[in-house]
Each structure stands twice: as structure tokens, then as C-alpha cells.
Amino acid sequence: MRRLLLLIAVIASSLAQAAGSDALFAAKHSSSDDKPVALESFRGKPLIVNFWARWCAPCRVEIPELAKTQDKYGKRGLTVIGIGLEDKAESVRDFMKAYDMNYTVLLARSGGIELMQALGNSRAGLPFTVAINRRGEIVASKLGAMNRADLDAAAEAALKR
């Protein structure tokens, strides 16, 4: 009976992770240049996806670490994506310059909170980060700012074959 319950729990967890990443790849947001971007174009790539906002103090602390993660792991195929809960592209572009954001930044003008919830952030708090491997599986997630060690572990998990 215990084995059956454990098997059911593992299957349910796998299905929830797949549903979450499916929601991510179904999403469409805008680039910082105000052009539509389908996240489907990132399917099959190891990702670190970070939800943030300009008004979020912990997000501002985390952003330089995300930039370092892109520098360190981008050569190995990892893509860092920042999804800002923002609606003004011009303000985001200015913010990106001020914070040296060297990674892909998208604007979630709508649907950002629902997407975070689908990815496991039921409280919809910020910052929120998920790591996704090439198979589209969520391999790490954290509500709250990630430090260097957290990001290194998430990147390695996403890059694992």
C-alpha cells in the first residue's frame, strides 16, 4: 500500500511539473522592444525563469546574480529569462540599462500572476524563480531571492542531461 501511495505521489508531482512548464511554453509576452515573444521558442533549452518587478527590492538585489548566471552558464546553453510584471516597455528598458540586465527580459502585461501560480507559486510573491531542463521538467524553484549558490545549483540541475 505504501509503495502504491508513493508511486501515486511521484506521478502526481511529475504531472504537476509538466503542466506548469506547459503553461510557461504556452505563454506569450512582450520583449523589452515591445515585440511579441512566444515562450514556445525556448522549449528544449535549459532555462532559469525569474519573475520580478521594478518595485520589488529583493528582485533588485537578485538581478546582478542572474546576470552573472547568464555569463557563467550561457556558454553551456543555459538561457536566463526575466519576466517582469510590468506594462511599460520604455521604463523596463531604462531599468535594464541601470541594472546591466544581460539576459532575455520579457514583460507580462497580463497573465504573469496566473503563470507563476501554474509554476507552483500559489502566493504569487516576488521574486520567483524556476529552473527547467531540456525535457521541460521543473528541476528547481524558489519563492524569494536566490543567492549565488542557489543559482549555481539551479543552473546545474537545468543543464543536467
Which amino acid is residue 112, in one-letter code? G
pLDDT digits (tens, 9 = 90+) for 48-84: 999 999 999 999 999 999 999 999 999 999 999 999 9
d(CA 50, CA 126): 9
Cis before 58 (ω within 30): no
**Per-residue confidence (pLDDT) for residue 20, from 0 to 100:** 65
pLDDT digits (tens, 9 = 90+) for 23-47: 999 999 999 999 999 999 999 999 9
Number of domains within the chain: 1
* In the chain, % of residues over pLDDT 70: 88
Quick one: pLDDT band at residue 19, thresholds 50, 70, 90?
A: low
- Beta 128-132 vs 47-52: how paired, if at all? antiparallel
pLDDT of residue 17 exceeding 70: no
Parent domain of 155: 2-159
Tell me the CA end-to-end span of the chain in Å, nearest whole number: 33
Quick one: pLDDT band at residue 6, thresholds 50, 70, 90?
A: very low
pLDDT digits (tens, 9 = 90+) for 105-131: 999 988 999 999 999 999 999 999 999
What CATH code is carried by the domain that includes residue 54?
Answer: 3.40.30.10
Out of 11-20, 130-139, 143-152, pick the least confident: 11-20
**Per-residue confidence (pLDDT) for residue 21, from 0 to 100:** 86
